[in-house]
Amino acid sequence: MKKAIAVLLVVCGMNCLAQSAEPTFEVASVRLADPGASNVGQGLQTSPGLLTIRHTALFGCIMFAWQVPAQVIGPDWIHDVKLDIVGKAPTPVGDRELYLMPGALLEERVGLRAHFEKREIPVFVLTLAKDGPKFAESTTEGPPGGALDKGVMVFQRFSMAEFDAEFSKILGRPVISAAGLKGRYEFRLDMSAFSAADEQDREAAVNVWMTAMQTRPGFKLEDRKESVDVLAVDHAEKTPTEN
C-alpha cells in the first residue's frame, strides 16, 4: 500500500493549489512506460520548472491534469496504458504552475478530448457513525495538507469536501459527504493495517481503506447510486505521438 499512501500525499498537495491561467511546457516528452520496468519511483515528482510522471496509467494522468476525483469515465484501457511524462517549463516555476500544464500536453500527444456531464453512477455517501465523530476542528491556520507520522496518516485543516475528494481518488468512486459538517478538521488514519493488504488486489485494498475510515475517524460509508458530475473521455489514443 506504499503506492496508495504516496499518491494520497501527492493529491493532498495538488488540492491545495489554486487555478490560474493555464501555462504550457517549453519542452516535453510523452512515452509509453516500459512494462518491465520496476514500479519503484513511479508516480509524480517535481522540482523547480520540471514535472515528471513515471509509469502512471492514462487514467491517473487525466486525474492529475484535470484535478478531478475518481469520476473519470472512459474506455477500460485507460487504466492499462501507462505513460512516462517529463515536462520542462520555460522558467523554474513551482508546483502551482506545473500542475496546470499536463492537460494541454495530453490533448496534443494522445489526442485527449473530454467533457463534463451528469451521470448516475455508484458512489459512497459519507455520514457519521452512531457514536459520533472521533476528530476535532483544526486550531491552526494555513491550507489543507497531509503527512505520514509513524504509520499514521494525518490530515490537517481539511473541509469535508476536500476530504471527499481525496478518498474519491483512493476508493475509485465518488465520495459524497452528508455529515453536515461545515468547518475544517483534522483526521488521523492508522496505516499499519495496509501492510497486510495486497496492493495488486484492488478490492482488498479498498476494503482496508474503508475499514480505516469507519473505525478511526468515526465515519459511515453507504453504497448508493447518485447523479454526479463526471469527466467523460470522448477520445484518446493508446500510443502517444512522437516527441
CA gyration radius, the chain: 18
Tell me the mean pLDDT in the region 187-212.
65
* pLDDT value of position 218: 77
Q: Is the pLDDT of residue 197 over 80?
A: no
> pTM of the predicted model, to two decimals?
0.67
Q: Distance between CA atoms of 227 and 101, rounded to whole angstroms?
A: 30
Give percent of the chain above pLDDT 70: 80
Residues 127 and 182 in one domain: yes
Are 85 and 140 found together in one domain? no
The answer to the question of residue 242 being in a domain is no
**Which residues on adjacent β-strands are paired with residue 29?**
86
Q: Which of 39-43, 89-93, 119-123 has the lowest mean pLDDT?
A: 39-43
Q: Across residues 178-203, what is the average pLDDT?
A: 70
Are 6 and 84 in the same domain? yes
CB 116 within 8 A of CB 232: yes
Question: Are residues 148 and 101 part of one domain?
Answer: no
- Per-residue H/E/C for 176-233: EECCCCCCCEEEEEECHHHHHCCCCCHHHHHHHHHHHHHHCCCEEEEEEEEEEEEEEE
In sign, the C-alpha dihedral spanning 59, 64, 69, 71 is: negative
Residue 211 CA to residue 140 CA, distance in Å, equals 28
Q: What percent of the chain has pLDDT over 90?
A: 26
Residue 38 has pLDDT above 80, yes or no: no
| Inter-residue contact 132 to 229 (CB < 8 Å) | no
pLDDT surpassing 70 at residue 20: no
Give me the residues paired with residue 47 across strands: 50
Domain encompassing residue 48:
2-112
pLDDT of residue 69: 64
The structural domain count of the chain equals 2
Average pLDDT of every residue of the chain: 79
Quick one: 224 and 135 in the same domain?
Answer: yes
Query: Which among 243, 238, 206, 218 is positioned nearest to 4, based on CA atoms?
Result: 206
In a domain, 182, yes or no: yes
Counted residue by residue, the chain has a size of 243
Which residues does residue 175 pair with via DSSP β-bridges, in sequence order?
124
The three-state secondary structure class of 22 is: coil
Q: For the segment 201-225, what is each residue's pLDDT rounded down to a tens digit? A: 556 666 777 777 766 677 888 889 9
11 and 77: one domain? Answer: yes
Q: Looking at the structure, tell me whether residues 94 and 145 fall in a common domain.
A: no
Residue 46 and residue 26 share a domain: yes
